[in-house]
Amino acid sequence: METMNHGATIEQRKAQIAKSKRSDKIATGVLTAIVVLISVVLVAIVGYIIVGGLPHLSWDFLTSESESFRAGGGIGPQIFNSFYLLFLTMLVSIPLSLGAAIYLSQYAPQNKVTDFIKTIIETLSSLPSIVVGLFGYLLFVLYFGWGFSILSGAIALTMFNLPIMVRVIQQSLEAVPAYQRDAGLALGLTRWETTLHILIPEALAGIITGIILSAGRVYGEAAALIYTAGQTAPEIDLLNFDLTDPRSAWNVMRPAETLAVHIWKVNSEGVIPDIDVVAAGTAAFLMICVVIFNIAARFIGGRIHKKVTAQ
Amino acid sequence: MGYTTQGAFFKLIQVNVVNSVICLKKDGKMAKEHSLIPKRNLEWLGIILTGVCILLTIALVFALIFMVAKQGLSTFFVDGVSFTDFLFGPVWNPSVTDPATGLPVVGALPMIAGSFAVTLLSTVIAAPLAIGAAIFVVEIAPGFGKKYFQPAIELLVGIPSVVYGLIGLTIIVKFVRDVLPVGGTGYGIFSGSIVLSMMILPTITSLSIDALSSVPQSYRQGALALGSTRWQMISQVVLRAALPALMTSVILGMTRAFGEALAVQMVIGNAAILPTSLFQPASTLTSVLTMGMGNTIFGSLENNVLWSLALLLMIMSLIFIVVIHFIGKKGGLEQSR
């Protein structure tokens, strides 16, 4: 005992212990205060957006066209554009990221090339979305001559979305216990069959959760879209299925302003007199969608996990 | 496109599998010949299908880097603006011609300074709070943390950046203008930093939670068994072991802050002047890009110089990646020792 305390008297030792205990209490208090602060800010943000915007969400607001100069415009086309763009983006990015993730987790040899590929994908994920959007503007809008269009926007969003989805799917695939994969291979299945019939069903819950969460991010993205899908929402006709008609809602070559772009647009360049109302209403709708995406991701992921694992 | 071809391939696989099963039932000898070849094809099919996805992704990234670099460098090699004038020039005014060089005045220093100011300030605000919250979730109240706090943080990560911008515009800018005794319009680096710190806080928190969770439980038990208090265990063992991963999470937060465009653009005031105060309108690389790209003619110097700003943004995010790799390598070495 004597040597351990370096000759400190019992009183000094006691004082030291008391000091340690005091700083432990202080630290716990500070950390708790931080969490309380963040929780309050979180509730305030979500509450402010949803409660502040909810009174403006009428059926008329959600379905009517937006106005450029007068008050009383709605967000009907923007809602459709957001979902249509989300759908097309997912249509391209799910198979692409699934393939890339399967390659990285199953086929890629452990060497420098694979490391390089991983770094490239990591780089894509850290690029600012405005840079991705500008690249889309350069390549799709100008060089390919697609103009401001849903197609340009969907591919720019795919680039923005790919690295996140690849990472989530790869993690889900790698979380499957190694013996499952080994058992498949030992039975004479190819790696491809093992992946399709054993790994993907097992990892499905994680994959779906990741896809829905990234869908929420795609849904709210604006910076990658302002110079690809454009900032205008022309009047559209949902029942017009002529894909070459610029008035058809389903035409992928028409410009399409989304909800998130609309919020930015009315605030930064808008001249309508009811900016506050339109912005608050749109933000509330966007926020409610994001909350639904989050809850759905948890719920559906849990359900699938139960179904597949029979627990 | 990719979708339909994949559908066709799935069918092909099914046919193959069915064929080989039928062969097995008919005759064991035949089965070997028939099932071996499709199996090998199947493996190639998998490699090719997934490899194409990887190649496509890589091609897109290379196209992005190449095209932005080419467009951004033409300011210097086609239009003849000097690197130093661009990087260190304190005045940004592309519509005015500098009589000394005969070229528009395109000093990017105001935006570079603005970008770094908002990034550093928001990180200084957000990082301690985020890491503190992560410690609370992992070490102090894991039950509450896992069940309530972590899902809430994930929700915050998912809030669109324009919504943060709108909150900044309607609450923070007004608060700075009307309540704080600083005068001015409320727009500026301070408001931008607050908005960004709200945005990157959940990102850093969620990554820090992962970082702290991956510290082996035995480290904690060892520290507690030696008689340390919980805070001693956290500050002297857990935080040190997790330091490289925590630094990575902070840098990823900074990357997000540096590249954020619309939320910042909405609250910073968009005046391309060298910032002298936190409460004066300023601008960042991203805000000038957002505002200017639609108002300039493609191929003109005014437009090319915007691409140079985009190139600068890209180079910065590449540097962030390199730093993260460097930290990862160093951290890895310490652990293996």
Across the interface, of A41, A121, A195, the residue whose CB is closest to B57 is: A121
Model confidence pLDDT, tens digit, residues A193-212 = 888 888 988 888 888 888 88
Average pLDDT (A147-167) is 91
**Distance between CA atoms of residues A112 and A98, nearest Å:** 22
Picking from B315, B303, B312, B331, the residue whose alpha carbon sits closest to that of residue B78 is B303
**Distance between CA atoms of residues A190 and B38, nearest Å:** 10
Residue from B119, B131, B231 to probe the interface with A (highest A Cβ count within 10 Å)? B231
From the CB of residue A69, how many other CB atoms can be counted at a distance below 10 Å? Answer: 9
User: Is the separation of the CB atoms in B68 and A138 below 8 Å?
Assistant: yes
User: Is the separation of the CB atoms in A206 and A301 below 8 Å?
Assistant: yes
* Nearest residue in chain A measured CA to CA from B42: A192
Residue B298 corresponds to which amino acid?
Answer: F
Instruction: For residue B96, give the H/E element and its range.
Output: strand B92-98
pTM above 0.95? no
Which chain A residues in 196-215 lie under 8 Å from chain B, judged by CB atoms?
196, 213
Can you tell me whether residue B93 is helix, strand or coil? strand
**Distance between CA atoms of residues B199 and B261, nearest Å:** 12
CB contact under 8 A, B50 and A100: yes
Contact residues, chain A, for B129 at CB < 8 Å: 34, 37-38
Q: Which CATH number applies to A57-309?
A: 1.10.3720.10
- C-alpha dihedral, B72 to B77 to B79 to B80, nearest 10°: 120
What DSSP designation does A239 have? T
Model confidence pLDDT, tens digit, residues A83-103 = 999 999 999 999 999 999 999
At B243, phi and psi to the nearest 5?
-55, -50
User: Is the separation of the CB atoms in B282 and B110 below 8 Å?
Assistant: yes
User: Is the separation of the CB atoms in A150 and A92 below 8 Å?
Assistant: no
The whole-angstrom distance between B307's CA and the closest CA on chain A is 9
Q: What residues pair up with B269 in beta bridges, in sequence order?
A: B282
What DSSP designation does B104 have? E
Residue A145 corresponds to which amino acid?
Answer: G
Average pLDDT, chain A: 86
* Nearest residue in chain B measured CA to CA from A120: B58
Point out the least confidently predicted range of A80-89, A113-122, B9-18, B186-195. Answer: B9-18
Instruction: Work out the angle between the directed axes of helices B243-259 and B109-135 (0-180°, nearest 10).
Output: 140
Would you give the distance in Å from CA A253 to the centre of its chain?
24
DSSP B304-315: HHHHHHHHHHHH
Contact residues, chain B, for A46 at CB < 8 Å: 155
CB contact under 8 A, A139 and B63: yes
**Residue B63 class from Cβ within 10 Å (0-12 exposed, 13-18 middle, 19+ buried)?**
middle
CB contact under 8 A, B163 and A286: yes
**Distance between CA atoms of residues A307 and A204, nearest Å:** 10
Residue A10 corresponds to which amino acid?
Answer: I
What DSSP designation does B269 have? B
User: Is the separation of the CB atoms in A229 and A153 below 8 Å?
Assistant: yes
Q: How confident is the model at residue A311 (pLDDT cuts 50, 70, 90)?
A: low
Instruction: Work out the angle between the directed axes of helices B301-336 and A129-136 (0-180°, nearest 10).
Output: 130
Residue B264 corresponds to which amino acid?
Answer: V
Residue from A87, A267, A277 to probe the interface with B (highest B Cβ count within 10 Å)? A267
Average pLDDT (B310-333) is 84
Average pLDDT (B262-267) is 90
Domain residue ranges of chain B, discontinuous segments joined by +: 2-77, 109-336
CB contact under 8 A, A138 and B71: yes
Can you tell me whether residue A233 is helix, strand or coil? coil
Picking from B110, B107, B112, B119, the residue whose alpha carbon sits closest to that of residue B271 is B110
Query: What's the first-to-final CA gap in chain B, in angstroms?
Result: 50
Point out the least confidently predicted range of A74-88, B221-235, B291-305. Answer: B291-305
Contact residues, chain A, for B63 at CB < 8 Å: 135, 139
CB pairs under 8 A between A and B: 257
Q: How confident is the model at residue A157 (pLDDT cuts 50, 70, 90)?
A: very high
CB contact under 8 A, A128 and B259: yes
Picking from B285, B284, B281, B286, the residue whose alpha carbon sits closest to that of residue B269 is B281
User: Is the separation of the CB atoms in A283 and A263 below 8 Å?
Assistant: yes
Instruction: Work out the angle between the directed axes of helices B243-259 and A112-126 (0-180°, nearest 10).
Output: 50
pLDDT value for B152:
86
Model confidence pLDDT, tens digit, residues B140-180 = 888 888 888 888 888 888 889 999 999 998 888 888 888 88
The whole-angstrom distance between A236's CA and the closest CA on chain B is 24
At B81, phi and psi to the nearest 5?
-75, 140
The whole-angstrom distance between B241's CA and the closest CA on chain A is 19
From the CB of residue B317, how many other CB atoms can be counted at a distance below 10 Å? Answer: 20
Long-range contact pairs involving A8-14 (C-beta distance under 8 Å, separation at least 24):
none
User: Is the separation of the CB atoms in A288 and A47 below 8 Å?
Assistant: no
User: Is the separation of the CB atoms in B320 and B123 below 8 Å?
Assistant: no
Please give the structure tokens belonging to residue A231.
């900032």
Point out the least confidently predicted range of B12-16, B187-191, B214-218, B295-299. Answer: B12-16
Picking from A271, A210, A215, the residue whose alpha carbon sits closest to that of residue A82 is A215
CB contact under 8 A, B163 and A283: yes
Contact residues, chain B, for A117 at CB < 8 Å: 54, 58
Domain residue ranges of chain A, discontinuous segments joined by +: 57-309
Picking from A283, A262, A260, the residue whose alpha carbon sits closest to that of residue A272 is A262
Which chain A residues in 14-73 lie under 8 Å from chain B, judged by CB atoms?
20-21, 23-24, 26-28, 30-32, 34-35, 37-39, 41-42, 45-46, 48-49
Residue A159 sits at the vertex; the CA angle it makes with A158 and A165, to the nearest 5 degrees, is 70
User: Is the separation of the CB atoms in A230 and A199 below 8 Å?
Assistant: no
Contact residues, chain B, for A24 at CB < 8 Å: 229-232
CATH class of B109-336: mainly alpha
Across the interface, of A45, A130, A221, the residue whose CB is closest to B289 is: A130
Place of tokens 């949902």: A238
Picking from B205, B239, B240, B237, the residue whose alpha carbon sits closest to that of residue B223 is B237
Model confidence pLDDT, tens digit, residues A223-270 = 899 999 888 877 777 777 777 777 777 888 888 888 899 888 888 877
Q: What residues pair up with B106 in beta bridges, in sequence order?
A: B92
